[in-house]
Amino acid sequence: GEDVEQSLFLSVREGDSSVINCTYTDSSSTYLYWYKQEPGAGLQLLTYIFSNMDMKQDQRLTVLLNKKDKHLSLRIADTQTGDSAIYFCAERIGDYKLSFGAGTTVTVRA
């Protein structure tokens, strides 16, 4: 995913909020996604946002989209140890293809 960039690591204390940032390049992307991957597992879809929205909230997750700057963020409120994982940002290219970032490894410390 050279077109999608993310910071590689994030360390957060349990109970604090986590914010993962992502930039993408295709201004015509219709949907942007956040996936979670735990060790040795596949990707779990966490949430998504349509390109005409600025914000989407889903329980502890808040997605912010700045279309002008092509910047996407995922905020996890009240981060728990079970939130430790790799988080991937992805943009939809055309009708069906996803382009992924390299992933942000989130470590939750007690």
Partner 1 sequence: DTGVSQDPRHKITKRGQNVTFRCDPISEHNRLYWYRQTLGQGPEFLTYFQNEAQLEKSRLLSDRFSAERPKGSFSTLEIQRTEQGDSAMYLCASSLEGGTNEKLFFGSGTQLSVL
Does position 106 interact with partner 1 (CB under 8 A)? The reply is no
Q: Which of residues 37-96 bind partner 1 (CB under 8 A)?
A: 40-45, 48, 50, 88, 90, 92, 96
Local structure of residue 81 (DSSP, 8 states): G
> What does the DSSP assignment read for 48-71?
EEETT-SEEEETTEEEEEETTTTE
Residue of the chain from 28, 59, 82, 97 that contacts partner 1 (CB under 8 A)? 97
Residue 14 CB, nearest approach to partner 1 (Å): 25
- Of 109, 66, 86, whose CA–CA distance to 20 is shortest? 86
Give least dist CB 71 to partner 1, A. 18
The residue whose two tokens read 């991937």 is 88
The answer to whether the CB of 31 falls within 8 A of the CB of 53 is no
Nearer to partner 1, 61 or 98 (CB): 98
Asked whether the beta carbons of 34 and 74 are under 8 A apart, the reply is yes
Residues binding partner 1 (CB under 8 A): 1, 4, 31, 33, 35, 40-45, 48, 50, 88, 90, 92, 96-103
